[in-house]
Structure 1
Amino acid sequence: MNKSKFIPVWLVVALLLTVLSACSSKSNDAAPSTAGNSEPSGTASSNPTEQAGAKDGPFTKYDPPIKLSSTLMTQGWASFPAGQSWDNDNLWHKLINDTLGIDVKWAWQVDSSQYNNKMNVTIASNDLPDIMAVTKQQLNQLVDADLVEDMTKVFDDYAMPFLKEQVKSSLMPAQKMALYNGKLMAIPQYSGDPRDSALTLYVRTDWLANVGLSEPKTLDELVKVAEAFAKNDPDGNKKNDTYGLGLLPTFAGGGSMTGFLNGYHAYPGIWLPDSSGQLVYSSTLPEMKNALTRLQVMYKDGLLDREFGTKDFNRLKEDVVSEKVGMFYGTISESATVLIDAMKKNPKAKWKALPLVSVDDQPARPSVPITAGLFYVAKKGFAHPEAILKIMNLFVSKVYGEDGAGKGAENKIYAWVDNAKYAVFPQSPVQAYVKDFNYEAVRDALISGDGSQLPEELKKTYDMVKASDGTDMNGWQQWWIYQTDVSPFEVRANYQKDPNFTVVDSFYGGSTATMDEKAATLATMESETFVKIIMNAASLDEFDKFVANRSKLGGEQIGKEVNEWYAQNK
């Protein structure tokens, strides 16, 4: 589950707005606890929703209480207040026990980097806990072996109204990934609106003024800006120490080259319908070759870092902070994870987020992945599969609220504590990340000048922004994102006005048999080929060879399997 240095959008929204937006996992060095130390769980019975559905509900407390066993993916970056830990002595376990009458015990816990391997062993041994988080591939195995409960009626009966609204409006692709023959066999760990991860273009507007250029509105203008930033001393220090465009050799997250590729209507790593109605792997289309051609020229001309092929997120961040680069692609996350450090280094710098720019008269549409990395399942025969939904409802209500206005949210208690010093939300055995409504709520209140109707959490943000002028770097992020003429949140809000504006992967089947066997090798071949082409270590002819070789080495068969799935699910 390692996601490199990509910082999840929802984590940053939490830091900026004291509410959450999306999820991700990191890694740490924690050792697993001894397996098999869980308390006995409920025993098999007839469908509990049929027994209790009429009187039971999304937050009904079990009386008498129940016990359940689960698994835990520990996160090395998380820290907790004194007296709390990953074990069952933290505030989330207390809240779940006190509110829902559920006593959660860990069957095992392990570092996130080892979680999938540990889960594979658990599945192979058929020693399953009551509930667990699994990958799509593991879910396929469990469903095929008839080892997990059908969650269709459970979701209908127990998902809180706000969660159901979110699934219908923005989380349906994730929901569909858990459908098997029309049955919902798991509850996705919803990762927010896919559009939340769409890239924008960050630009130093003070550098633009220094080189006498306007904000780029086309891709050709972006290249002109990159050339000026690389060659015309944009920082005015009389040194040749800058380059034009910050890019990483990745397809996701801050700094990735996907924003540039999207400008050529190229969408790496996803499946899209062609004119015949068949799904095609978009990395193999002519638009991708056109984009790589332009990047190769930019590299030859010195507009990209000479070490492009080996850069990672931290090195790009260092370049931004040390003022070696004044333009890069990023999500809303980078407004806090990168720009705040850059502003502390140079408070006079001026940054602005722009929408993606296009190579022609068609708008550049950001491509986004399906957001459901994990799925919560209940083992076959567990008496209370609805416990998954009850805990998820509790998580959503405490972190986001009971509705789009944030009613009842207690984010600063159950997500981030002590001004975001401690991250306590990962202690919950079931989590979900839904659409963030809070930027628009606070923004509109600031425009109207009336924050009286905001929930308490958002009213604090409103008051802070209202009282700030952006000169205090401790509050700069919060102030800056509400300046609508420069804010990446405003760019995202404009993206989301049209539900069809972003390009979403049309294949949400998770994995096919040949993908399981060949996908990693093909992905490595794709990445290495593209990087070599950009760095002029391979000719453009290598793109055509890549397309042909990918097809021979499993790509053609994967395409057949994907389209067999598509014929049944479109």
Structure 2
Amino acid sequence: MKKKKWVSLMLALVLTTAVGCSNGSGNAKTDETTNTPDNTAQKEQTAQNDDGKFEPPVTITTARPVGTDYKFINGEDINNNVHNKWAKEKLGIEFKDLWNTADNGAYHTKLRLSLTTADQLPDVFIVQDINLIADLIQSGKVKDIGADFEKYASERIKKIYADNSDAMNQVRNGDQLLGLPIFAAGDGTNPLLWVRQDWLEKLNLKEPTTIEEFETVMDAFTNQDPDGNGKKDTFGFSFAGRNNFSNWMSDASFVFGAFTGKYIPGTWQKDEDGTLKYGSVQPEIKTGLGKLHEWYSKGYLDPELAVLDEVKATESFIQGKSGMIAAPYWAYGWPLGDTKATNPNAKLRAYKLPAGPDGKSARFTGLVNEGKVMMFNKDFKHMDAFFAYFDKIYDFEFETGDFKNGFFEGYDYALVDGQPVYDSTKFPTPLEKAPSPDKYNLFWNTPKIPFQESATYDYIFNGNEVKNRSHKGITILDPEQIRAGALNYQMSDINAPTEFLGAPTETMRSNGDNLKTMEMETFVKIIYGNEPLDKFDTFVTDWKSKGGDKIDQEVNKWYKSVNP
């Protein structure tokens, strides 16, 4: 995963529901002004010529959130830009945004309204809300693309999906395929341990490789004045305790994984008996909670952890209040790089997550598609055009065709003496703030070949020959970020992705929120010492009786249906 804009990524994963408006571009339509096309008027007799261009041209409508992470140059906007011009001239496909919002939450709110109003769904659209995905699947308004996938998808696209076939379960309904997961890096949200290396060196400490050594470092960062200001105003470790303990940023899942070796809170894992088990109610989780309570009572943790989400907990680290945080490899450049704004002498370094007493480890791993699926209006007639376009976009990842060097010259690369240059400040016409052509496509970001990127980091870190664009793109990064990417790859064996990818079950929908609230409240009260550790056992009993056992049955019924 490349370096991402902080607020945009937070909104995309947390899916806030604040209603937004247009980003202000002159041609993008707002929530208030919606242009509904007549899909029945689409020409069905279009075909590709010998150059692969559709004649007559095909129009494909979409919608999307256009936030501050979208950067344009040359007076362009989301409707009129270099990508749309390329698609029309090269493929004979014209893209039209029916509406845009300023953030992800408002976007999903408007999509949901389309289920209960006469508003027309776009031809193709991204969904990142698991409940909305389930509602769309049941609505009858989205297209079964199973036959289209087999008929029109290129062989390389089919291979990518075959290699990650479990992800398809998120959009399956019996024999129907009602969408496509859009793949991300696959391990781009996996945490590793980021440490204030300057504090570590000042206090003559070694890197923590075990939970016991982690405690030693936390104690020193809390009690030995690592920032040298003469005040006892620092603590050891930041994590978010508001929404979950297994997070894409400010994570604490590895603390539990150090005692379970598999299970982490909030996920479903395959047990030895072949069934899925909910991580939060497994016996070893109690040990992890006991350890967090011990650390809290000693002042090693943020006293406000219960109200901190992923952003706020990370700010504690950036502001120099804590000395360690679990965050993705790309976080070195941003947001953790902002630490230097607080203290120019700060030095950050990545380490592998500490293992438990028996060498056990497990860590949060996001979905291979980060929950993102592409869905299609049931009346959409041009799946051939969509899959032709989809394959062309993958030219970027395969470094072939039009996008061998990058998306567009003068945008994300420039040719200097016949060789591509990717640092925009070194273009023949330098750009201090580069545009984001990787975001102009229908998928909001460039679709990835899962797990390829972190392997490339490891390849470069080990001094191998630079052979292609992906290699060059990594070599221009800070050496510490390259090292972090390599460590992320080397920890692949402790990834713990959830194995339940289906739509929320009936009982999840009726009881899930209450069970999750009970879980978070119980865990935080135990950590704070407001409830004894044995309260965990009461929680497990209550969870089971108040819907958990029923959810367990429903989840495993689904799991059996996709793994006959």
Q: TM-score range by the shorter chain?
A: 0.7 to 0.9
Taking the aligned partners of 1:145 and 1:238, their CA distance within structure 2 comes to 62
Secondary structure of 1:337's partner?
Answer: coil
In structure 1, which of residues 439, 450, 454 is the aligned counterpart of residue 468 of structure 2? 454
CA contact (8 A) 1:272 1:281 kept: yes
Taking the aligned partners of 1:229 and 1:430, their CA distance within structure 2 comes to 43
CA offsets 1:47-100 (integer angstroms, 9 cap, x no match): x9xx97xx789x9321110123222233344343352223x2233322222222
Taking the aligned partners of 1:119 and 1:178, their CA distance within structure 2 comes to 17
Aligned to 1:492: 488
Moved more, 351-360 or 284-293: 351-360
Aligned to 1:276: 273
Aligned to 2:376: 378
In structure 2, which of residues 550, 557, 562 is the aligned counterpart of residue 564 of structure 1? 557
Aligned to 1:107: 98
Q: Which amino acid aligns with 1:519?
A: G
Distance change >3 Å, CA 136–CA 208, structure 1 → 2: closer
CA contact (8 A) 1:205 1:352 kept: yes
CA contact (8 A) 1:137 1:510 kept: yes
Q: Which amino acid aligns with 2:254?
A: G
Query: Equivalences for 1:257-276 in 2 at 5 Å?
Result: 257-265=252-260, 266-276=263-273
Aligned to 2:247: 252
CA offsets 1:105-152 (integer angstroms, 9 cap, x no match): 233333421222221221223633322333444444444454333222
Secondary structure of 2:553's partner?
Answer: helix
Query: Equivalences for 1:109-188 in 2 at 5 Å?
Result: 109-111=100-102, 112-125=104-117, 127-134=120-127, 135-169=129-163, 171-188=164-181
Q: Which amino acid aligns with 2:228?
A: G
Q: Does 1:435 align with 2:432?
A: no
Secondary structure of 1:197's partner?
Answer: coil
Query: In angstroms, what is the RMSD of aligned CA positions?
Result: 3.4
Distance change >3 Å, CA 140–CA 320, structure 1 → 2: closer
Moved more, 178-187 or 36-45: 36-45
Q: Which amino acid aligns with 2:259?
A: Y
Taking the aligned partners of 1:444 and 1:514, their CA distance within structure 2 comes to 45
Query: Equivalences for 1:266-415 in 2 at 5 Å?
Result: 266-372=263-369, 373-398=371-396, 400-402=397-399, 407-410=404-407
Taking the aligned partners of 1:144 and 1:284, their CA distance within structure 2 comes to 30
Distance change >3 Å, CA 118–CA 567, structure 1 → 2: same
CA contact (8 A) 1:149 1:380 kept: yes
Secondary structure of 2:499's partner?
Answer: coil
CA contact (8 A) 1:376 1:388 kept: no
Q: Which amino acid aligns with 2:480?
A: W
Residue 12 of structure 1 and its aligned partner are, at CA, apart by 1.2
Q: Which amino acid aligns with 2:535?
A: E
Residue 103 of structure 1 and its aligned partner are, at CA, apart by 1.8
Taking the aligned partners of 1:426 and 1:549, their CA distance within structure 2 comes to 45
CA contact (8 A) 1:320 1:338 kept: no
Moved more, 540-549 or 126-135: 126-135
CA contact (8 A) 2:333 2:481 kept: no
- TM-score for both structures, normalised by structure 2: 0.82
Residue 565 of structure 1 and its aligned partner are, at CA, apart by 0.6
Residue 460 of structure 1 and its aligned partner are, at CA, apart by 6.3
Q: Which amino acid aligns with 1:37?
A: N
CA contact (8 A) 2:63 2:98 kept: yes
Aligned to 2:506: 513
Q: Which amino acid aligns with 2:485?
A: F
Residue 102 of structure 1 and its aligned partner are, at CA, apart by 1.7
Taking the aligned partners of 1:355 and 1:203, their CA distance within structure 2 comes to 11
CA offsets 1:277-323 (integer angstroms, 9 cap, x no match): 22221111111111011101111111112222223444444433343
CA contact (8 A) 1:150 1:183 kept: yes
CA contact (8 A) 2:190 2:366 kept: no
CA contact (8 A) 1:71 1:106 kept: yes
Aligned to 1:472: none
Taking the aligned partners of 1:538 and 1:192, their CA distance within structure 2 comes to 40
Distance change >3 Å, CA 386–CA 519, structure 1 → 2: farther
Residue 540 of structure 1 and its aligned partner are, at CA, apart by 1.8
- TM-score for both structures, normalised by structure 1: 0.81
Residue 255 of structure 1 and its aligned partner are, at CA, apart by 1.2
In structure 2, which of residues 223, 227, 232 is the aligned counterpart of residue 235 of structure 1? 227
- Higher RCO (CA 8 Å, separation ≥ 6 residues): 1
Aligned to 1:468: none
Taking the aligned partners of 1:163 and 1:105, their CA distance within structure 2 comes to 25
CA offsets 1:324-377 (integer angstroms, 9 cap, x no match): 222111111321223322245545443321222222223312231324423222
Residue 553 of structure 1 and its aligned partner are, at CA, apart by 2.8
Residue 270 of structure 1 and its aligned partner are, at CA, apart by 0.7
In structure 1, which of residues 55, 67, 92 is the aligned counterpart of residue 59 of structure 2? 67
Residue 252 of structure 1 and its aligned partner are, at CA, apart by 0.9
The gaps in structure 1 that reach 5 residues or longer are 1-9, 465-476
